[in-house]
A and B are shown apart, each in its own frame.
Chain A
Amino acid sequence: MQHACGVAVTGVAVVTLRMAGRPRVLAAGGVAREAVRLALLQGVIGVVRQARRLPARRPQAEADPGGSDECDGWPEPAPRRAGTRWHAHRVTITQIGVAPSLTPVPSRAWSVLALRVMTRGFVRDTVLYLIAALVLGTAANLLPNRHLAWWGKGQEPPKEGVDFELLDPVQADALRASLPDVVFLDTRSAAEAATGKVPGASLLSYTDLRHQLTADLLSKLGKADAVVVYGSSDETDVEQLLAQELRRHGLAPPYVMAGGFSAWAASGLEVERKAS
């Protein structure tokens, strides 16, 4: 009974091949169901057993003392090998149906081949991802307005107290009231600024400094009593970077307004809106 189920399925498969029309379809469905059941039952168990037996003798020469009472093996001489359930099907059908066109091969060779195919494909795909990322990153960094140095040269992140000073919106408003020439720089987009900004603020995009940070603007900022940079929200990393950039151009450390324009508006301070 050890291989009876496999033989039975195979026999039905062979008969199915000789049918035609609807009976063939119905019989094929039954064969497929049984084959899947056997594959699930035998495939994983068989694969694990094969893995443990490497290097192994040809499976058809082995007894299987640990098998279940019900159908625990492929019919002789179909091999049980790692990742070759489909191969076993074809071998079985051809061997029983007509003359065998495929001869069983030693299990170790098939196992090693399966291992090699999977490993090679996985490594290949992994390397392909790496190559694609390298190509895209290099191409993007060669664009004129995006160029970063290929190898960093001692760049430091912006530091409070060195590159900028923090202040809240109320303090910024007090500064604006007390000093005659306080320049506010808005890092948001034009569309955002059109909905409301600090009165008299100028737009300055950090991603377009190459074009916007002109000599005239630098001169104006250099003459101001104070420069306050703000963005849209609580995250001020872009404003801190801009402040660091201004300092690199020789200006005194600017102020960065914590909370951005959201905090300014929430404090009930004066807001300038673009006339529609």
Chain B
Amino acid sequence: MSWLSNRWLHRALGVVLGGIFLYAAHDKIADPRPLLTIIWGYRLLPAGPINVMAIYMPWMELLVGLGLLLGIRRRAAAFWASAMLTSFIAALLVNAVRGINVACGCFSTSSTDVHNAWLLVLRDLPMLIVALTILIFVPKRGEAQPEQASSPQR
């Protein structure tokens, strides 16, 4: 499993995952109001926190995308990416089980949305695995660094 700590692998994974987060963030940053309604559509949160999420989540996605892409505090960025992906997957799973039509974050007029929700979970899982790989397996380097030193606590 030492190959998972290869720093070139981490850079490549960071570029891919960072690019995905940046692409996801740009529309929401341009206009957060549809995001407000999309989060409402999941029917999981009360009214108050939904606005907080709609205001701040796109910017966190942007920062995480930049951090992963450019390698700026990549592990911290991977931590937040993992947290967001875990919450997205959990919300999709809940709605998939409930049978609520939530497809790709949009309102849907199609009865096949429940299936789409499961596909979205399958789409998000590899991204979560990538984020966890960057977070857990610290790349080896020639000299020890505070953030990325291999440490015995794992």
Contact = CB atoms under 8 A, between A and B. Distances in A.
B51 A151 contact: yes
Interface residues of B, number: 50
Given A111-B152, A122-B76, A132-B63, A238 B47 contact: no
A118 B40 CA distance: 39
Interface string B47-71: 1111110111011101110010000
Contacts of B32: 146, 148
Contact of A157 (B31, B40, B63, B109): B40
B52 A150 contact: yes
Given A122-B76, A150-B51, A152-B51, A84 B147 contact: no
B151 A153 contact: no
A117 B153 CA distance: 12
B36 interface: yes
Contact of A50 (B59, B80, B106, B152): B152
B37 interface: yes
A125 B72 CA distance: 10
| Interface residues of chain A: helix, strand, loop or mixed (majority) | helix
A80 B107 CA distance: 59
A48 interface: yes
B34 interface: yes
A196 interface: no
A118 B34 CA distance: 40
Contact of B107 (A119, A152, A237): A237
B38 interface: yes
Interface string A138-171: 1011000010111111111110100000100000
B26 interface: no
Interface of B: 2, 29-34, 36-38, 40-41, 46-52, 54-56, 58-60, 62-64, 67, 73, 75-77, 79-80, 104, 106-107, 109, 142-144, 146-153
22 contacts: A117-B149, A125-B75, A125-B76, A125-B147, A128-B73, A132-B59, A132-B63, A136-B63, A148-B54, A148-B55, A151-B52, A152-B36, A152-B47, A153-B47, A156-B40, A206-B31, A207-B30, A235-B106, A237-B38, A237-B107, A238-B34, A241-B33
The 8 closest A-B pairs by CB, nearest first: A51-B152, A125-B76, A152-B47, A137-B56, A133-B60, A152-B51, A125-B73, A83-B149
Given A115-B152, A138-B55, 20 more contacts: A43-B150, A117-B146, A118-B151, A122-B79, A125-B75, A125-B76, A126-B76, A128-B73, A129-B64, A133-B56, A134-B56, A137-B55, A137-B60, A140-B29, A146-B32, A150-B51, A157-B40, A207-B33, A236-B107, A237-B106
Interface of A: 36, 43-44, 47-48, 50-51, 54, 82-86, 111, 114-115, 117-122, 125-126, 128-130, 132-134, 136-138, 140-141, 146, 148-158, 160, 166, 206-207, 235-238, 240-241, 258
